[in-house]
């Protein structure tokens, strides 16, 4: 009788939904459109796209990928009762990332532009990856779930505000980098709420750790001189690989990081070999110098956050009640605008 009961419970569960594990805990999903999207090849591919792109192979080896991030964003939106359309948008917002994430900006000449390459091809990617077919089968259009939609203010907000996207990559990133513990990450996840069009938390102590993490990553990973140099070298290697038929444009758009990396690393082409050697040990090939000696001044996109915290029962910027946070935030923001004085060494 117990075996039959267990089987019936399992069958009922399979019939009515599935359970998916995210960084923030298990999610019970009943909506078939969500199940189909999570399990489609285009979403599963994101498990092979590292969140920090080339930095995974050089300076930041956290085991954190675009699938983990997308599921985290989805979990945050779902917990806070976002519309199903916005949940779908959050789930799919990074699906068009090329291999090595933002190295694609370099490959396609978008490295100095405000809009990332993956955003420019988002709709097109839905069509070529099979996602559009899934959406249409469930009564949704591509336009209805675009992440840049002005209606999806839980998912996207301008800096320095938080949004579901920014909340996830700062919480998960801060955990993997040791800025917060897993318990603190879950406390923040539970505490965040969306009110009057803004994300708010009551935990100033934990928010300050997120701010310092976002500042650290802005100058040490995403915007570092090393990441600039490595992104440039890897893009050159990829373009050379395409020229000689080693890799294809399909590999770039629909492949995964490790496969393309291994193709480049195993190449006998002298140009690619040189760039891969530089990536393996970037230190000797670039250095920070005085502005007068610099090959170029590398400005970087500042992704520091200044979240809203509940203070005396009212939402205020964390920087307005924490002078140390305010100073750190402003210092690196000014540094980003000036740029790194970078010199390449051959």
The single-letter DSSP state of residue 210 is H
Q: First CA to last CA across the chain, in angstroms?
A: 75
Residue 323 CB neighbours (<10 A): 9
Element holding 143 (H helix, E strand): none
The H helix count followed by the E strand count for the chain is 17, 9
The pLDDT assigned to 346 comes to 78
CA trace torsion 193, 197, 203, 205 (10° rounding): 140
Q: What is the residue-level pLDDT of the chain in tens, covering all 346 positions?
A: 445 444 444 444 445 689 999 999 999 999 999 999 999 999 999 999 999 999 999 999 889 999 999 999 999 999 999 999 999 999 999 999 999 999 999 999 876 656 789 999 999 999 999 999 999 999 999 999 999 999 999 999 999 999 999 999 999 999 999 999 999 999 999 999 999 999 999 999 999 999 999 999 999 999 999 999 999 999 999 999 999 999 999 999 999 999 999 999 999 999 999 999 999 999 999 999 999 999 999 999 999 999 999 999 999 999 999 999 999 999 999 999 999 999 999 7
> How do residues 274-306 score in pLDDT, each as one tens digit?
999 999 999 999 999 999 999 999 999 999 999
Residue-level pLDDT at 9: 43
Phi–psi pair at 15, nearest 5 degrees = -70, -35
Beta bridge partners of 128: none
CA-CA distance, 189 to 78, in Å (whole number)? 12
Cβ neighbour number for residue 297 with a 10 Å cutoff: 11
- Which letter does DSSP use for residue 160 in this model? T
3-class DSSP state for residue 121? Answer: coil
Per the CB < 8 A criterion, the answer to whether 160 and 305 are in contact is yes
Under DSSP, the state recorded for 19 is E
Strands 25-29 and 296-298, sheet pairing: unpaired
Q: Which residues of 299-316 are buried (b: 16+ CB within 10 A; e: fewer)?
A: ebebbbbbbbbbeeeebe
Per DSSP bridges, beta strands 25-29 and 18-22 are antiparallel
| Residue 240 near residue 260 (C-beta atoms within 8 A) | no
């Amino acid at each position: 009788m117990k075996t039959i009961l267990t089987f019936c419970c399992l069958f009922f569960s399979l019939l009515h939904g599935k359970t998916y594990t995210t960084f923030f805990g298990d999610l019970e999903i009943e909506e078939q459109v969500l199940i189909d999207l999570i399990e489609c090849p285009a979403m599963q591919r994101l498990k092979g796209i590292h969140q920090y792109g080339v930095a995974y192979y050089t300076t930041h080896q956290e085991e954190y990928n675009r699938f983990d991030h997308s599921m985290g964003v989805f979990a945050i939106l779902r917990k806070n009762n976002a519309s199903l359309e916005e949940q779908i948008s959050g789930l799919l917002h990074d699906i068009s990332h090329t291999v090595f994430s933002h190295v694609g900006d370099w490959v396609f000449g978008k490295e100095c532009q405000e809009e990332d390459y993956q955003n420019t091809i988002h709709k097109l990617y839905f069509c070529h990856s099979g996602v559009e077919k899934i959406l249409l089968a469930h009564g949704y259009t591509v336009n209805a779930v675009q992440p840049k939609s002005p209606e999806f203010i839980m998912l996207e907000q301008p800096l320095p505000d938080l949004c579901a996207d920014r909340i996830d990559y700062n919480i998960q990133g801060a955990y993997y980098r040791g800025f917060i513990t897993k318990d603190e990450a879950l406390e923040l996840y539970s505490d965040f709420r969306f009110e009057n069009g803004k994300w708010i938390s009551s935990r100033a102590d934990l928010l300050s750790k997120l701010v310092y993490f976002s500042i650290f990553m802005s100058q040490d990973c995403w915007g570092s001189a090393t990441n600039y140099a490595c992104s440039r070298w890897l893009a050159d290697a990829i373009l050379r690989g395409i020229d000689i038929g080693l890799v294809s444009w399909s590999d770039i758009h629909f492949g995964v990081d490790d496969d393309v990396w291994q193709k480049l690393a195993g190449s006998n082409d002298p140009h690619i070999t040189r760039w891969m050697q530089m990536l393996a040990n970037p230190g000797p090939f670039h250095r920070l110098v005085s502005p007068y000696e610099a090959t170029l001044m590398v400005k970087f996109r500042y992704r520091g956050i200044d979240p809203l915290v509940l203070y005396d029962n009212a939402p205020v910027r964390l920087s307005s009640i924490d002078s140390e946070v305010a100073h750190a935030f402003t210092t690196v923001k000014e540094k980003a605008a000036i740029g790194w004085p970078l010199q390449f060494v051959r």
